[in-house]
Chains A and B, each alone.
Chain A
Amino acid sequence: MTDPVPPVQPPGAHLPDHPDFLWDDLGPRAFYDVVIVGGGGHGLATAYYLAKVHGITNVAVLEKGWLAGGNMARNTTIIRSNYLWDESSGIYEHSLKLWEGLEEDLGYPILFDQRGVLNLAHSLQDVRDSVRRVNANRLNGIDAEWLDPRGVKEVCPIVNISEDVRYPVLGATYQPRAGIAKHDYVAWGYARAAHEMGVDLIQNCEVTGIETVGGRVTAVETTRGRIAAGRVGLCAAGHSSILAAMAGIRLPLASHPLQALVSELLEPVHPTVVMSNAVHVYVSQAHKGELVMGAGIDSYNGYGQRGSFHIIERQMSAALELFPIFARAHLLRTWAGIVDVSPDASPIVGLTPVEGLYLNCGWGTGGFKATPGVGDCFAFTIAHDKPHALNEPFTLERFTTGALVDEHGAAAVAH
């Protein structure tokens, strides 16, 4: 006889089912009013808002692989808007507000969970920078608090706030409305909704050329043939430089591998999101119970969707400094995405010298959280052939004028 094992079902260990129908796997038509290159989160969201807000439905989203299979499938899903500069907090807060209504908007369980995010400070200058950011956030209407170590412990009891670690926690900024969502659910929610409104989602369709006539974009060449287009929006993250070059545009971007990892499913221990730039780690416990973790980017340019393992090892030692309780958790899977890093750690969104060609890139490690916000603003930019007020500061020209939006200098919180 065996002892009966009580059939306890762990909370959250099973996610809601996806709907019975998502989208048709279509081939391209000959012409679209708008072609979006890149079927990741940004591309799908842009198509969705083009159709929903601007009534432009003759739209194709071209994806060279499988839909939302790039960074959208690889990110650690942190959503927050507590950026330092007005320009950044403007677009990220717009995004956060859209996140707050997105589940209803898309009719899809995107599992947006506003569990808050802590950005830890480990030095006196970290503290000054953090307080500065909190104050700027509040004046920008963004929820933000400065917590001392005890406050950190109250929000996240498993953070080690003792003095005897190498870089003790001196406090943290806290944004309660921040959180996580489930990336596939978000992407598929956008994809399904866009498709329902008539957007064609075309997979295994790699853009190999951008055709222009008299300074105006006319079509894209793809592995599935030429597709004529009234307007073309680039949403290709790490591959933006290569695409832009097809239209003769040079971008100030470097594509780097960014690695992440996940543990097995664990009983809930980590109620929020914790980020530490000083010791290079960010971690949350996702819906099913797995720890999801990321670190800094690999230093070199790379398109290999692979990084160096010593980055993971370093990240683990940092994680265990902050969370000694994680010692016997297990690494289950590691992976990497390709992030397009701009010189000031801020995106480039807007018009280009080529008429009808629009650019959305340079989001680096922070693109996921911007998905609804930039989707909305980029759709506006394409529909009106002029930048939305919220992406107006993020021009390509700023690198010439010097009007950068430098998000790594001041707060060093690029993720």
Chain B
Amino acid sequence: MSATFRLPTGGLIDRDTALRFTFNGRSMTGHPGDTLASALLANGVHAIGTSVRYGRPRGIVAAGSEDPTSLVQIERPFPEPMLTATTVELHDGLVAYGLPGQGRLADEPDPARYDAKHVHCDVLVVGAGPAGLVAALTAARGGGRVVVVDEQDRAGGALLGTREYLGERLSQEWVADIVAELRGTPGVLVLDRTTAFGVYQDGFVLALQRRTDHLGFDAPADAARQRVWRIRARQTVLATGAHERPVVFADNDRPGIMLAGSARTFLHRYGVLPGTRAVVFTTNDSAYRAAIDLARAGLDVATVVDARPAAPSVLAARCSARGIEVRAGHVVTGTEGDARVTGVRIAPLPGADGTPETVDCDTLLVSGGWNPVVHLFSQARGMLRYDSGLGAFVPGEELPTVRVAGSATGALDLTSCLRQGRAAGLAAALAAGFAPVDEDELPVSGERTDEQPGTVMWRVPGEPRKGAPDTRFVDFQRDATVSDVLRATDAGLRSLEHVKRYTTIGTAHDQGKTSGMITAGLVAEELGVELSEQRPTTFRPPYTPVSFAALAGRDRGELHDPVRVTAQHPWHVARGALFEDVGQWKRPWYFPLPGEDMDTAVLRECRAAREGVALMDASTLGKIDLQGRDVGSFLDMLYTNKMSSLKVGRIRYGVMCGVDGMVIDDGTVIRLAEDRFLVTTTTGNAATVLDWMEEWLQTEWPHLDVYATSVTEHWATFPLVGPRARDVLAGIAPDLDVSNGAFGFMEWRDTVLDVGAGVPARVCRISFSGELAYEINVTAWHGLAVWEALMAAGERYGITPYGTETMHVLRAEKGYPIVGQETDATVTPQDLGMSWAVSKKKADFIGKRSFARAENTRPDRKQLVGLLPVDPQVRLPEGAQVVGTDRLPDPPVPMLGHVTSSYRSAALERTFALAVVRSGRERLGETLYVPVGDDLVPVTVTESVLYDKEGARRDG
């Protein structure tokens, strides 16, 4: 079938280009400039899909994003659920179908890109209709940075749907001139296809720009499909227009029933007639103009049904001149038809002359007045006021940085809209610090203002036949009717929010843009309350739906969170390391040789550390350089043990607690000079600890002379571990006396390594494994070279790189806890058996007071112990719970604690675990049980140190 409803001329479409598309399986054509909706109407297609609850056919009601019915699924170019056909720009090859209520997600990944852009401006204008354009031009001529956003593919707003004259000129020419001037003005940005969807504080407005959707298959793959504009505006002018409001009557949902103004838009913007023969039903003057325009274009308008007692005389006369009958005091009481309206029942209102009659037609155009689009104003926390003349909520106050102009204020005629635009643009520019220049005269619309005020009618009086289903639809998408609203009030509900929830009105895709006001009206009518006393339901962002992907933007995959790697990372990758995520860092987990599983690799790495020599990349450890007179006393407050007494050249292990006395971090503290310390933190807590220090320094003890600087990434840090560590170090540090006497445990030395031209290094004799160990620190710049040199120097000793897993095993054999693994914000240093690290002498330190609370002094706190499975081959799962009985009672089973770490030990030649267990230290030697699956594994409680209890290995 050819495009029978496309007029031979008119419309803002490119008739020279035909676009093929498929809808509900049928191939059709349209033109550039069409929406899917206009192209369907041009092809005579009104029925889009079926309704969610009753399966009733539904068509196209409005021409814009407020349309409540034309829900479609896009299948090609790429599946996208639930758009309205009125917002889908037509392109070649588009495949779509009408939805019965639920959209479908693609089952393949979305190949498109999305991004975000920030822009700052003096004046943001939302809406490039007549009011918005004048506002923008006024502000731009004053010299301000102006951003104009409009959701359509071109500027013009409501003017796109009319054929009005402004002075002598057709409105569209006037629009084109303003847009040209705006685009030519430096500092002005005009964004079309861009919907402002959220207004937030301090002039922050979010807008979604659809950049490539209209290009269909020709969309460049490297261009972002959609972009979120994060706009920060000193002043915002909302020129967001108005939505036409329907009137509710029986069978008001049939395809072919459309808002009058939207039909006018389809005519003027797309050159499309909605049908062949129409009835117009209105409560106000605006639909007359639609009727006249459409009739002039060839639509057979049978009659205008006006609910007001008297018709506007001039408009009525113009209708009569075209042979259009006007019936005042009448209403539409119902419609006939199935997939398309075929007739309209008309009846006089009480008191009016006339008889009920059915008029054949394929189109019914409805206007119940206009609702200002106050969504964004409301989001900006503007108060709304009910205007009883309009039957709508309008902006009810002035805001200091948000102004409203045009039909969004409730203005109904173009001349007022232009004036308001001028005033808003001027005020915004002045408020933003600009003095706009003298302005030209504003043009005057040729279109008359309303002769006669509209009447407010939410629904046509009358009830459905007894027993018959109510077909007076209020919310088309939710299939909610007048009866549903009345049931809600009958059920005792008084709040609009309750009615909304009871009926689900306003919760669908259109968020109640056309149904919300009517519902409020119906509820007020039913309850006999004034609408001015009803609070409208809240307008929440977004104004129109926004795709998840657009909001996620570029922050996906690698960019979701920065990946941090050490300078030696490429070496680890080349060596086949597997990595563990620790915070943002990728840390080598273990280095399997070909064919090795994790257990084998870790046992080999452990053996190397205990029997030969092994090397780890611990560069991710947090490092904080502290300088100043008072660092010592500051650290005394931060750590549980005393740091001010540490001598230059020495190192001390320290534990840090929160004010609640729970362990938050640990690490080493080395004293570089009287007024300089370097502390290390756990990898994951580096930033937290630095913040912690700054918080205390700045907010509590600003008098302390302390400066804290993160140097985590400045240093590459390599623990060189094992009985042969001294030999390896000696080979690479010729100037350093590595003997135990000259370089003792918990001391540090600066030296120059024999690498390249010589690399300065700081070597610390600390050990997290119990073995002889040196922590070699060099600048990250030299890290890889030094790492390779150490590997080379250690080759003859079989030096073995190891990862976090082996580090965990080695420290666990020594009973050293890992913060975050043995602790969980409920564990004190005493619980960990670290009373030795808690100063008794210091008057105070952070957390100390909490140790004295009742709960902290309980004898049965959970304490860190070792667990040895009775069967030395059984490895307990980490996270397993510990119970006291060899048979499980019915739940709840009393639990004594849980396994925090569990490994197979090369050195112990058996499995072992660490656990926190209630009264653990009193249970040494006891047999406890660990439920694993359906088994209860017997374990012996031991002290937490399992290897080299006397510490004989530390000096090599």
Closest chain-A Cβ to B44's Cβ sits at a distance in Å of 7
**Is B826 within 8 A of A404, CB to CB?**
yes
Residues of A within 8 A of B842 (CB): none
Complex contact A140–B560 (CB within 8 A):
no
Task: Kindly provide the distance from the CB of B576 to the nearest chain A CB, expressed in whole angstroms.
Answer: 15
Most buried by B among A22, A25, A132, A327: A327
User: Is A132 a contact partner of B49 (Cβ separation < 8 A)?
Assistant: no
Interchain residue pairs with CB less than 8 A apart (30): A2-B44, A3-B25, A5-B97, A7-B57, A13-B52, A13-B102, A15-B504, A20-B491, A25-B494, A66-B495, A122-B581, A125-B820, A125-B821, A128-B900, A139-B883, A140-B892, A265-B82, A266-B103, A279-B560, A314-B555, A316-B551, A317-B551, A327-B110, A328-B81, A330-B546, A331-B542, A331-B547, A332-B542, A401-B853, A402-B660
Within 8 A of B (CB), among A380-409: 400-404, 406, 408-409
Residues of A within 8 A of B56 (CB): 7
A58 close to chain B: CB less than 8 A: no
Apart from A18-B502, A331-B547, what 7 extra A-B contacts exist at CB < 8 Å? A5-B24, A86-B895, A136-B881, A266-B82, A320-B552, A328-B80, A401-B854
Chain B 481-502 near chain A by CB (<8 Å), digits 1 or 0: 0000001101111110110011
Q: Does A319 belong to the interface (CB within 8 Å)?
A: yes
Option from B49, B228, B892, B895 in Cβ contact (under 8 Å) with A141 = B892
Cβ-based interface call for B667 (8 A)? no
Given the interface pairs A73-B497, A140-B891, A400-B853, the reply to whether A328 lies near B78 with Cβ below 8 Å is: yes
Q: Does B877 contact A (CB under 8 A)?
A: yes
Most buried by B among A18, A131, A317, A328: A328
> Does B479 have its Cβ within 8 Å of any Cβ on chain A?
yes
- Structural contact, B53 and A325, CB atoms closer than 8 A: no
| A interface residues, Cβ below 8 angstroms from B | 1-10, 13-15, 18-25, 65-67, 69, 73, 86, 89-90, 122-125, 127-136, 138-142, 164-167, 184, 203, 263-267, 269, 279, 289, 308-309, 312-314, 316-321, 324-335, 400-404, 406, 408-410
The smallest beta-carbon distance between A76 and chain B, in angstroms, is: 15
For the complex, what is the distance from the CA of A314 to the CA of B556, rounded to whole Å? 10
Task: State the main secondary structure of chain B at its contact with A.
Answer: loop
Q: Indicate which residue in A9, A125, A184, A333 contacts B55 across the interface (CB closer than 8 Å).
A: A9
User: Quick check: A327 and B547 within 8 Å, CB to CB?
Assistant: yes
Asked if B325 is at the interface (CB within 8 A of a chain A CB), the reply is no
Contact with A along B98-123 (1 / 0, CB 8 A): 10111111110110100000000000
A166 surroundings in chain B (CB, below 8 A): 557-558, 560-561, 563
B47 interfacial contact with A, CB 8 Å = yes
Highest count of chain A CB atoms <10 Å: which of B339, B340, B580, B826: B826
Q: Is the CB of A141 within 8 A of B492?
A: no
Nearest CB of B to A186, in Å: 12
Find A9's partner among B52, B97, B109, B895 (CB 8 Å cutoff).
B52
B82: contacting residue among A133, A312, A330, A404, CB under 8 A? A330
Q: In the complex the two chains form, what is the Cα distance from A152 to B611 in whole Å?
A: 41
Residues of B within 8 A of A312 (CB): 551
Contact of A265 among B102, B107, B501, B879 (CB under 8 A): B102
Which residues on the A side are within 8 Å of B97 (C-beta)? 5
Once the chains are docked, how many angstroms separate the CA of A3 from the CA of B46? 10
Distance A325 CA – B105 CA, assembled complex (angstroms): 7
Q: How far is the CA of A141 from the CA of B888 in the complex (A)?
A: 11
- Smallest CB separation, B43 vs chain A (Å): 9
Whether A317 pairs with B553 at a CB distance below 8 angstroms is: yes
Query: Shortest CB–CB separation between residue A189 and chain B, in angstroms?
Result: 13
- Residues of B contacting A332 in the complex (Cβ-Cβ under 8 angstroms): 509, 511, 542, 545
Q: Give the residues in chain A near B504, CB-CB below 8 Å.
A: 15
Is the CB–CB distance between A135 and B824 below 8 Å? Answer: no
A residues in contact with B552, CB < 8 Å? 313, 316-317, 319-320, 327
A-B interface, 8 closest residue pairs, ranked by CB to CB distance from nearest: A409-B825, A141-B891, A131-B879, A7-B55, A402-B855, A132-B879, A330-B545, A327-B110
- C-alpha gap A86/B490 in the complex (Å): 46
CB distance from A123 to the nearest CB of B (A): 5
Residues of B within 8 A of A132 (CB): 878-881, 898
**Residues of A contacting B662 in the complex (Cβ-Cβ under 8 angstroms):** 409
